[in-house]
């Protein structure tokens, strides 16, 4: 557990408590989902999708969901994982069971079907796994990313439903200090939305980090292109390629838009949008509570705008009630980045 200790801090929690509770629940549900048919091949399937047009991850009547297409409304995934059981039956000889398809064949076939639809979901990997392997309960670690963009300009069309637009400036250092309070082994009841079905609010947050990143989609400004050309000429002269990194301030194109001499827009740069500052929050843990990441980001955003101090974050954590937390961040900025397994 990190962060400065206080007299009001709860007594130390056994670090194995969250793992033991989770393991018991996982084992019970995994036994129920285990395929008993030896002719069935279980595949582990990794998918990416834009969640804007999905109603969630559970099958619902009259709604398009991730489960419904393959099988947290508005949330995106760089790599989400599910498992499917397939029995390959011969079309020529009904009842004859054929050897299972290779994973690459399954991937191509499923993507061919998916692309006939809206094209906002795609299979990126397939692996054969034992019939007792469960995509949810065998996961060792999950990583989420959350994108925030800061600036007074309206959100770009290319960014809508892809990030949380915060008009105010964000204090990156203050947000990073707040992360230190939240990372570690805690009772996260204050970051657990109503409807959470987990047996325990105890979780170990292995990583919580925020940094500034280039805007997405990123297009280089005039100054950056000149810097790259200059670096290329230098590398050709020296015959050694230098390690060139643009300063973080170059992510904001202050050099593209404003003529500081007369306060008027530079006519040569007419029609070029002023960029937002872009920030990425990374949260990594074995498992998360319902809406935990979005509640964490909601608090971090308030720290960044100055609505909360680091001491307030500690107070919210110790309150152990979700009513103490800041408003939850919207789903549009949340991405499931990776689910880690110890694959056989």
Q: Are 168 and 287 within one domain?
A: yes
Distance between CA atoms of residues 315 and 292, nearest Å: 17
Helix, strand or coil, per DSSP, at residue 65: coil
Residue 259 lies in a domain: no
> Domain check: are 42 and 111 in the same one?
yes
Q: Is residue 307 part of a domain?
A: yes
Same domain, 118 and 169: no
Please list the helix, strand and coil fractions of the chain in percent, rounded to the nearest 5, in that order. 30, 25, 45
Q: Which domain holds residue 322?
A: 140-216+275-341
Predicted confidence at residue 122, as pLDDT, reads: 94
| 335 belongs to a structural domain | yes
Per-residue model confidence as pLDDT tens for the chain (344 residues): 334 333 344 444 444 455 555 555 555 555 555 556 768 999 999 999 998 876 555 555 555 555 544 447 789 999 999 999 998 888 888 878 889 999 999 999 999 988 876 668 999 999 999 999 999 999 999 999 999 999 999 999 999 999 999 999 999 999 999 999 999 999 999 999 999 999 999 999 999 999 999 988 888 878 888 888 887 777 776 655 444 444 444 344 443 343 334 444 455 677 888 889 999 999 999 999 999 999 999 999 999 999 999 999 999 999 999 999 999 999 999 999 999 999 87
Among candidate residues 112, 110, 142, 138, the one with its CA nearest the CA of residue 125: 110
pLDDT at 250: 39
Query: What is the Cα–Cα distance from 36 to 149, expressed in whole angstroms?
Result: 49
DSSP of 221-234: -HHHHHHHHHHHHH
Q: Which one is catalytic: 26, 72, 171, 206?
A: 72
3-state SS, residue 309: coil
Residue 20 lies in a domain: no
Q: How many CA atoms lie within 13 A of 5 on its CB side?
A: 5
Largest Cα separation within the chain, whole Å, is 82
DSSP characters over 235-298: HHHHTS-------GGGGS-HHHHB-TTTSSB-GGGTTPPPPPEEEEEEEEES---TTHHHHHHH
Domain edge (last residue) among 128, 157, 185? 128
327 and 204 within one domain = yes
Q: Are residues 68 and 169 in the same domain?
A: no
CB hemisphere CA count around 186 (13 angstroms): 29
Predicted pLDDT at 9: 41
Q: Where residue 167 sits, what CATH number does that domain have?
A: 3.30.70.660
Task: Decide if 11 is inside a domain.
Answer: no
In this structure, are 100 and 212 located in the same domain?
A: no
Q: 207 with 289, same domain?
A: yes
284 within a domain of the structure (yes/no): yes
Q: Is 206 a catalytic residue?
A: no
In a shared domain, residues 124 and 49: yes
CATH of the domain at 114: 3.30.70.580
Q: Tell me how far apart the alpha carbons of residues 156 and 275 are, in angstroms, rounded to a whole number.
A: 9
Task: Give domain status of residue 23, yes or no.
Answer: no
State the total domains in the chain: 2
Contact 79, 338 (CB under 8 A): yes
111, 203: one domain: no
Domain end marker among 128, 157, 180? 128
Residues 184 and 154 in one domain: yes
Q: 3-state class of 2 per DSSP?
A: coil
**Which of 175, 152, 125, 190 has the alpha carbon at shortest distance from 307?**
175
Note whether 308 and 212 are same-domain residues: yes
- Considering the domain architecture, whether residues 49 and 122 belong to the same structural domain is answered as yes
Residue ending a domain, among 101, 128, 155, is 128
**CB proximity list for 321: less than 8 A, separation 6 or greater:** 189, 190
Q: What is the pLDDT of residue 247?
A: 42
Q: Is the pTM of this model over 0.85?
A: no
């Amino acid at each position: 557990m990190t962060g400065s200790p206080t007299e009001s801090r709860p007594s130390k929690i056994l670090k194995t408590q969250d793992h033991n509770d989770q393991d018991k629940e996982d084992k019970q549900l995994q036994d129920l989902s285990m395929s008993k048919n030896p002719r069935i091949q279980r595949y582990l399937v990794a998918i990416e999708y834009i969640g804007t047009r999905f109603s969630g991850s559970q099958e619902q009547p009259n709604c398009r969901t991730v489960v419904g297409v393959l099988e947290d409304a508005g949330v995106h995934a760089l790599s989400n994982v599910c498992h499917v059981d397939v029995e390959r039956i011969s079309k020529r000889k009904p009842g004859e069971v054929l050897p299972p398809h290779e994973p690459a064949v399954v991937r191509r076939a499923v993507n061919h079907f998916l692309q006939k639809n809206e094209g906002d979901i795609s299979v990126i990997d397939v692996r054969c796994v034992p019939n007792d392997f469960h995509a949810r309960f065998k996961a060792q670690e999950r990583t989420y990313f959350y994108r925030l963009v800061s600036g007074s300009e309206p959100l770009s069309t290319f960014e809508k439903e892809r990030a949380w637009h915060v008009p105010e400036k964000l204090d990156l250092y203050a947000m990073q200090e707040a992360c230190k309070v939240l990372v570690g082994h805690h009772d996260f009841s204050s970051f657990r939305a109503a409807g959470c079905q987990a047996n325990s609010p105890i979780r170990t947050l292995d990583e919580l980090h925020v940094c500034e990143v280039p805007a997405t989609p990123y297009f280089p400004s005039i100054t950056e292109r000149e810097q790259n050309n200059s670096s290329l000429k230098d590398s050709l002269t020296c015959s050694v390629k230098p390690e060139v990194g643009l300063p973080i301030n170059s992510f904001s194109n202050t050099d593209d838009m404003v003529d500081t001499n007369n306060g008027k827009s530079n006519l040569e740069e007419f029609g070029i949008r002023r960029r937002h500052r872009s920030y990425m929050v990374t949260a990594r843990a074995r498992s998360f509570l319902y809406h935990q990441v979005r509640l964490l980001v909601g608090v971090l955003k308030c720290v960044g705008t100055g609505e909360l101090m680091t001491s307030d974050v500690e107070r919210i954590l110790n309150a152990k009630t979700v009513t103490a937390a800041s408003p939850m961040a919207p789903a549009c900025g949340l991405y499931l980045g990776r689910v880690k397994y110890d694959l056989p």
